[in-house]
Structure 1
Amino acid sequence: MTRSPHPLRARDLGYAQRVCVAKAGKLMMETGQLAPRARVGLAVSGGVDSLVMLAVMAIRRRIVPFPVELMLLHLNPGFDAANHEPLAGLCADLGLPAHIEVTDFGPRAFSDENKKKSACFYCAWLRRKRLFDLCGQYGLTHLAFGHNADDLSATFFLNIFQNGRVDGLSCRESFFEGRLTVIRPLLLVDKKTIIRAAKAWELPVFSNPCPMAGKSMRHEAETWIKDICATGKKRAVNLENALGRWQRDRDAAPR
């Protein structure tokens, strides 16, 4: 029996998929996210955002006019040591190299080891530190995250109310004296479009078993923004456009 091609290999894309690929491509070009012979680590948690980011990058790699290498990086936080299993099949189907690692970051964040910081902050810090280490280990030049337009809005207001500063999420950010560049290709794509694209691509999204899922300060900010935007039809679009334009202008590649 002939095996049907994986949806990520198919040429015909639906509307939501085309929006994700096109918006990511435009942002990547305007902010100089990729360069010839870039070696990109894809930080994939298994959630809908990071999996769509993987799908978009797999397609953009075939479009950009220079060679780009991709590698999936997954750090299981340790609450469920087996829930990442769908990723192995996806990577095998796409011919994509992967580093999949089960950590103890989640339980450590809730242990006596972490008495001063929030569990979410400590777990995220441990994950990012390990991702940076892996980029060095594999000689990766870029690290891609799946943050979207909704994340940008939530981060912007969290920074104002919690930290007293005006800041968002960078489209492109340099670390270690330029040896590593963090990129966020989906930063101007809204969550609803990402969810529709994930369903169309039949991506193996799996749930987050963290005890803080849906209870963090970020979730509070997201809920507050949704409540504000629900009272006006254009508020969500205007907020997305305004913050997206502001962040893109800040990170625009020099001409």
Structure 2
Amino acid sequence: MKLQQLLSLTRKAVDTYHLIDEGDHIAIGLSGGKDSLALLYALHGLQRFYPKKFSLTAVSVDLGMEGFDLTPVTKLCKELGISHHIIKTQIRQIVFEERKEKNPCSLCAKMRKGALYNAVKELGCNKVAYAHHKDDFIETMMMSMIYEGHFYCFPPKTYLDRMDLTIIRPFLYVEEADVIGFKNKYHLPVVKNPCPADGATKREYIKQLIRTINHENPGTKTRLFTALINGHIPDWEDQNE
């Protein structure tokens, strides 16, 4: 995928769900993975011509995992003229050593978000951009139905009143395959996730399940996304009006 195509899909989500307002200071949650690096490129590109002016800051949360080196990511941010802030934490130690969590993802995510939100508030940001793509939305919807028994998915835009922060997800219309193509074409400096739980989660199981169903019934993934968009989920209502 070329940058222009990525920008077009990103702007479609931004315009449809009113994700960016004049004067926004947006923090990009930069994990070092392919998705967040592609989002960095996309919002940097959008910033150059979007009619509403906004500023960008990149923020990464260091969980304290051995071998986690964000030097290539910091270098890319510098090339793009975006400041990069790394938040050091002891989340790995707490989750895996002190708590010895059997299902660590929930606690890790909660602590990671807490560290991120506190940091971006100190940096003066009013919005946080996550790189959840179309496949993430579909997988979250499926997980909600299978494991929780209700039809739900996080919306493209969420206001956190306790933190006075707005979460935006500009990659709603971008497929994971597009991100992979973009990563390969532009040689993104992806930092491997050193988490011992990576690849052994319920989300990974659902991802493979959807892949199998879509292979056996071509077009299933597209229909699932259509069901999500038209599903009248309460948190999504009125966001595109």
- Counterparts in 2 of 1:9-20, with a 5 A limit? 15-20=1-6
Give 1:29's match in structure 2, choosing from 4, 15, 25.
Answer: 15
Please report the TM-score for the alignment, with normalisation by the length of structure 2: 0.91
One-letter amino acid matched to 1:179: D
Task: Provide the aligned C-alpha RMSD in A.
Answer: 2.1
Match of 1:97 in 2: 83
Structure 1 residue 92, shift from structure 2 partner:
1.2
| Equivalent in the alignment of 1:236 | 221
Residues 16 and 240, structure 2, Cα contact 8 Å, conserved in 1: no
Aligned-pair CA distance for 1:39: 0.2
Structure 1 residue 91: Cα displacement: 1.2
Residues 120-199 of structure 1 aligned to structure 2 (within 5 Å): 120-176=105-161, 179-199=164-184
Q: 2:201 aligns with which of 180, 194, 216?
A: 216
Query: Cα distance, 1:16 vs. partner?
Result: 4.2
Deviation at 1:47, TM superposition (A): 0.7
Confirm or deny that 1:85 pairs with 2:82: no
In 2, Cα distance between equivalents of 1:250 and 1:238: 18
Name the CA shift for 1:62/1:153 in 2 (closer, same or farther; >3 Å): same
The question of whether the paired residues in 1 share the 8 Å contact of 2:68 and 2:191 is answered with no
The percentage of counterpart residues that share the same residue type is 24
Q: In the aligned structure 1, how far is the partner of 2:182 from the partner of 2:93?
A: 32
Letter of the 2:142 counterpart: F
CA positional deviation for 1:133: 0.3
Corresponding residue for 1:206? 191
Counterpart in the other structure of 1:41: 27
User: In the alignment, which residue of structure 2 is the partner of 1:76?
Assistant: 62
SS of the residue corresponding to residue 213 of structure 1 reads coil
Amino acid at match of 1:125: K
Partner of 1:63: 49
Please report how far the alpha carbon of residue 242 of structure 1 lies from its aligned counterpart in structure 2 after TM superposition. Answer: 3.3
Equivalent AA in structure 2 for residue 99 of structure 1: H
Gaps of 5+ in 1: 1-14
8 A contact 2:29–2:36 mirrored in 1: yes
Greater shift in the superposed pair: 245-254 or 135-144 = 245-254
* Residue deviations 1:188-210 (CA, integer Å, cap 9, x gap): 21100111012222211121111
**Number of corresponding residues:** 240
SS in 2 for 1:70: strand
8 Å Cα contact 1:45/1:75 also seen in 2: yes
| Displacement over 3 Å in runs of 4+ | 244-249, 251-255
